[in-house]
Amino acid sequence: MNLANKITFTRILATPIFLFFLMPGWFGQFLGLDKWGRYAAAAVFLLAAITDMIDGNIARKRNMVTELGKFLDPIADKLLVVSALIAFIRTDNLSVWAVFIIIAREFIITGFRVIAAGRGVVIAADKWGKIKTIVQIVAIVAILIRNFPLSLITDFPVGTALMYIAVILTIISGVNYIVKNAKIIS
């Protein structure tokens, strides 16, 4: 396992740590996690999200792109984001429909990529997918920190609004992938 793959694997390991801080259970109350857990979760989430850029850059620059990395990287990304979204249904009353749309898009696009890979075709992320991911990450962090510091001056739910923008971008990027790659499944 090369350096890029190790970094990707740390993102997978970060997901349960993120969830531990976000939803600590009764033992977390004794550790003070009920008060500060969301900030710790935000820090873990943000660091894990940053590793997504780092591992890809290292793999490309050092010629460390491997089949294992191609397999692990999208799994690591999906585990981190999907775990946050599912947790937000309980902790922040995030719409089940918003979460469903985002997860459904990920399954559909992953299916397209699996079919394409079986045919020797790589479907790279496009600008819509990258924008969607950035907005999702910013929305998740904003929800985790309860819109701080904006919450000091407004009650507007910035993180939730960004999440709904992410849902719209999810739909746009999903349709774009399907239209651009429809020939793969025909």
pLDDT in tens, 44-80: 999 999 998 888 888 888 887 777 777 788 889 899 9
Q: Enumerate residue ranges in the chain where pLDDT < 70.
A: 26-35, 151
Token pair for residue 70? 């191609």
Q: Which two tokens stand for residue 163?
A: 């999440």
Q: What is the pLDDT of residue 42?
A: 95
| Non-local CB neighbours of 135 within 8 Å, separated by 6+ positions | 162, 165, 166, 169
